[in-house]
């Protein structure tokens, strides 16, 4: 008998170490081709790399990447947003929810014990059979019970282990989701801040131009009084002044909207929110390292979160498979029962029961197969979502690299155009003062110079915003890659 017991116990131990369902193996990041080793023109047909497993890194500091711009006011706003933004607070709550779900899943590893003390007053029926009592008599009495119920599922097929594995993977995904929200918030604050600074510079330019146009109008009016020019010149100067003045409220409205948006991002009411004044928009655009490697995308929290959701969906397939196997649960009950409160905890009042129960899924009407098919479909969806996020990540980085290159070219060309327009304006002013041309030529040159200078200011802001978008697309910058940048992966 003893060898049989030992053999049976060994069998249960072996089964308890197994878990049905597929073990997780990360699929390829891209289905149709290898992952490029570098971005844009830096890659080549032979420069390819294997995509490594995305390691959840929510607990690792990503650094204050906005410090590369060297702007103290931006640093202050980022600190405010990280501490008080409500979207970030909601993401943190979802992270704690996922942490609690892991504890819920793990609880099934342990016996479940509950106590349900109760007091029942009851009356027997006269016509019911009475054991040990006089027939035809009714009795009224109290029943006192203090039971402890125990239930424990023997995890033979790994249902609880797969369930816990899924919860832990989703917890890791929630951690990365929190980092995604944080990164998006930081990028939005920086982008709005630079747009606001660009608008401030543009408004200052337009305001200075209004003053210049007002001076030109006074000059033209004086020349009209002297009979040097006609009323047409005065009318053109006044039209140019009033048209430019009308542009100031539109710029002010854009500034107000951006400032109010920044207030909300920083967790502050829009009323009365202000930012510190600055002399001009920063030109501190960080330079990209040569040979920017695509492995930087592994730092993106959305890619890591998608990979963890694949692992969770894979574990869910294992949970669905366990429904096809018998379920063994050990049940136990012990406690005290008496019809008299004074004898409730006496030793003769004890009671107990113990024994296993077996649940065999003989016929479920196709439910188990449908649940397994559903789990497989959910896993396939998670794989497709993961690959799509990888593709989108490459798209976003390539878009911002192109924006960096082309905006720089556009800014250089526009700066040259502004220089030429300024020279044209000087010539037109000299010709007008000499009485060789009408004010129309001056007005045309002034409009062209203003338009080119405003475009230069706007392009500087757009280039900074594109830099922020690139840092976001790379998962928080490229710090730590400079030593490896010259060596292709």
| Model pLDDT for residues 418-469, shown as the tens digit of each residue | 999 999 999 998 998 888 888 889 889 999 999 999 999 999 999 999 999 9
pLDDT tens digits, residue range 277-290? 875 666 666 666 55
Q: What per-residue confidence (pLDDT) applies to 368?
A: 93
What is the C-alpha separation between 298 and 310, in angstroms, rounded? 16
Q: What per-residue confidence (pLDDT) applies to 64?
A: 87
Q: What per-residue confidence (pLDDT) applies to 49?
A: 44
What is the C-alpha separation between 488 and 474, in angstroms, rounded? 17
* Inter-residue contact 138 to 119 (CB < 8 Å): no
Q: What per-residue confidence (pLDDT) applies to 95?
A: 93
Torsion angle of the four alpha carbons 87, 88, 94, 97, in this order, in degrees rounded to the nearest 10:
-130
Q: Where are the domains of the chain?
A: 15-110+156-325+367-473
Q: What per-residue confidence (pLDDT) applies to 489?
A: 25
* Inter-residue contact 113 to 149 (CB < 8 Å): yes
C-alpha angle 209-213-217 in degrees, rounded to nearest 5? 170
Torsion angle of the four alpha carbons 233, 237, 238, 240, in this order, in degrees rounded to the nearest 10:
140
CATH class in words for 15-110+156-325+367-473: mainly alpha
What is the C-alpha separation between 36 and 58, in angstroms, rounded? 25
Residues in the chain where the model's pLDDT stays below 70: 1-18, 29-38, 40-62, 128-136, 279-295, 477-489
Q: What per-residue confidence (pLDDT) applies to 488?
A: 27
Q: Which residues pair with 49 in a beta bridge?
A: 35
Contacting residues for 299 by C-beta, under 8 A, at least 6 apart: 57, 62, 474, 475, 476
Q: What per-residue confidence (pLDDT) applies to 40?
A: 65
Q: What per-residue confidence (pLDDT) applies to 8?
A: 45
């Amino acid at each position: 008998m003893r060898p049989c017991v030992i053999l049976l116990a060994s069998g249960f131990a072996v089964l308890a170490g197994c878990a049905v369902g597929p073990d997780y193996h990360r699929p390829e990041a891209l289905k149709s081709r290898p992952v490029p080793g570098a971005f844009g023109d830096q890659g080549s047909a032979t420069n390819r790399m294997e995509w490594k497993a995305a390691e959840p890194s929510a607990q690792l500091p990503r650094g204050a990447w906005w410090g590369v711009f060297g702007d103290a006011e931006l640093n202050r706003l980022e600190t405010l947003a990280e501490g008080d933004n409500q979207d970030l607070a909601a993401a943190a709550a979802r992270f704690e929810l996922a942490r609690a779900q892991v504890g819920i899943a793990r609880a099934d590893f342990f016996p479940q014990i509950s106590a349900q003390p109760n007091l029942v007053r009851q009356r027997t029926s006269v016509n019911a059979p009475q054991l040990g009592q006089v027939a035809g008599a009714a009795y009224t009495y109290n029943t006192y019970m203090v039971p402890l119920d125990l239930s424990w599922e023997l995890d033979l097929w790994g249902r609880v282990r797969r369930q816990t594995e899924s919860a832990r993977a989703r917890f890791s995904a929630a951690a990365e989701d929190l980092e995604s929200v944080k990164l998006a918030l930081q990028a939005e604050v920086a982008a709005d801040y630079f747009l606001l600074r660009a608008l401030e510079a543009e408004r200052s330019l337009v305001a200075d131009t209004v003053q210049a146009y007002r001076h030109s109008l006074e000059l033209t009016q004086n020349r009209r009084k002297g009979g040097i020019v006609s009323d047409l010149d005065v009318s053109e100067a006044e039209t140019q002044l009033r048209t430019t003045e009308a542009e100031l409220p539109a710029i002010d409205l854009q500034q107000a909207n951006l400032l109010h948006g920044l207030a909300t991002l920083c967790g502050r009411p829009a009323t009365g929110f202000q930012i510190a004044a600055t002399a001009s928009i920063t030109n501190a655009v960080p330079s990209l390292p040569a040979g920017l490697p695509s492995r930087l995308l592994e730092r993106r929290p959305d890619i890591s979160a998608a990979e963890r959701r694949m692992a969770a969906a894979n574990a869910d397939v294992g949970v669905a498979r366990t429904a096809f196997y018998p379920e063994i649960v050990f049940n136990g009950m012990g406690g005290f029962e008496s019809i008299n409160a004074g004898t409730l905890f006496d030793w003769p009042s004890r009671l107990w029961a113990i024994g296993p129960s077996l649940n065999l899924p003989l016929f479920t009407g196709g439910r188990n197969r449908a649940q397994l098919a559903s789990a497989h479909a959910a896993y396939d969806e998670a794989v497709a979502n993961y690959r799509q996020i990888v593709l989108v990540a490459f798209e976003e980085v390539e878009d911002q690299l192109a924006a960096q290159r082309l905006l720089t070219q556009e800014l250089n060309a526009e700066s040259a155009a502004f220089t030429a327009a300024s020279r044209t304006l000087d010539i037109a002013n000299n010709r007008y003062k000499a009485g060789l041309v009408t004010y129309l030529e001056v007005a045309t040159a002034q409009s062209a110079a203003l338009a080119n200078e405003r475009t230069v200011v706007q392009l500087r802001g757009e280039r900074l915003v594109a830099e922020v978008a690139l840092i976001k697309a790379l998962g928080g910058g490229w710090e730590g890659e400079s030593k490896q940048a010259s060596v292709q992966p």
